Amino acid sequence: MISQKITCYEIKLIDELVFKPCHLLLKNIEPEPESQEYAAHTFHLNEYKVVFRKAKITPTKTGQFVSIWKRNEKGITTPFDIKDDLDFLMIVANTPTQMGVFIFPKNALHKHRILSDEIKDGKRGIRVYPIWDETTSKQAQKTQAWQLQYFLDFSDSKKIDLNHAKKLLTIY
């Protein structure tokens, strides 16, 4: 198999720290022409299709914001849909001294109304709250509580919970 050059630093790091130790093959890495400020890519992990983004720190609110839209056939931005070909949404969050990744499975995104369905529109962007963010509003605390179930902390690369990673990626 021909090795594919990885140009996104965060994807390369996750590959070294998580994917390879979990025996996952990273392939078909494609940068998305739009949303490059969020390091937008798609790729496959074994048979799983992944949509990848990097969240951004915003100046006035706790948490980090990430754009997660796509363009429909008319060229209009629209939320991802439950019927779309994706298995996971991975969102990297970092500060100068901390880093981690949210690995959201499709069903969790749908449950929390991030993906559209026949009844309700999803979201074009979301705020993520990594473990190091101190949330103050009730809504942010509630959001952080469910999101942290899908979070892997890379702040200490020697203490990454690979069992949790395997569970998140439904590898048993």
The H or E element containing residue 166 is helix 162-168
- Domain range summary for the chain, segments of one domain joined by +: 9-168
Q: Answer whether residue 1 shows pLDDT above 70.
A: no
Over residues 131-164, the pLDDT tens digits come to 999 999 999 999 999 999 999 999 888 899 999 9
**Cα 7 from Cα 50, distance rounded (Å):** 16
Q: What confidence category does residue 34 fall into, taking pLDDT thresholds of 50, 70 and 90?
A: confident
User: In the CATH hierarchy, which top-level class contains the domain 9-168?
Assistant: alpha beta
Cβ atoms of residues 102 and 91 within 8 Å: yes
What's the pLDDT tens digit per position in 42-66?
999 999 999 999 999 998 999 999 9
Query: How high is the pLDDT of residue 37?
Result: 86
* Predicted pLDDT at 2: 46
